[in-house]
Amino acid sequence: MQTDELLRTTLMSVVSHSLDRGMKMPLMVCMMSRNGSVIVVRCVPDREEPVVLAEHSHDDRFVSPIGIMVLDQSGQVLKLGVDDRGRIMPDAG
């Protein structure tokens, strides 16, 4: 996953997936790549864009697979992964 648009699309899919599973806003989402790239955002219902809390990119890109952790306001945690094709999958670990 190379571009901001791909990350944004993935984030929106992750948020939708999380809400479908009963998670409550605000959501904290951490996306991590095996090359060391990471972004942590806070998604709140009254903002169109997420708030970036922390970010580090290595070579300006995320390398698949990407690990994702979502935390909601109640402390519920969801772990997901994104494969080489951009598909979101439940974390096997």
Question: Tokens 């809390």 identify what position?
Answer: 53
Tens digit of each residue's pLDDT (9 = 90 or more) over 34-75: 899 999 999 999 998 999 999 998 887 888 889 999 999 999
- For residues 62 and 8, give the distance between their C-alpha atoms in angstroms, rounded to a whole number: 12
Please tell me which residue, 2 or 20, carries the higher pLDDT value: 20
Please tell me which residue, 76 or 88, carries the higher pLDDT value: 76
pLDDT for 1 equals 42
**Does the model's pTM come out above 0.85?**
yes
pLDDT for 14 equals 93
* Contact (CB, 8 A) for 26 and 32: no
* Contact (CB, 8 A) for 52 and 40: yes
Domain positions in the chain are 4-90
Please tell me which residue, 13 or 85, carries the higher pLDDT value: 13
Task: State the burial class of residue 71 (Cβ atoms within 10 Å of its Cβ: 0-12, 13-18, 19+).
Answer: middle
User: Is 60 exceeded by the pLDDT of residue 26?
Assistant: yes
Other beta carbons less than 10 A from residue 27's beta carbon: 23
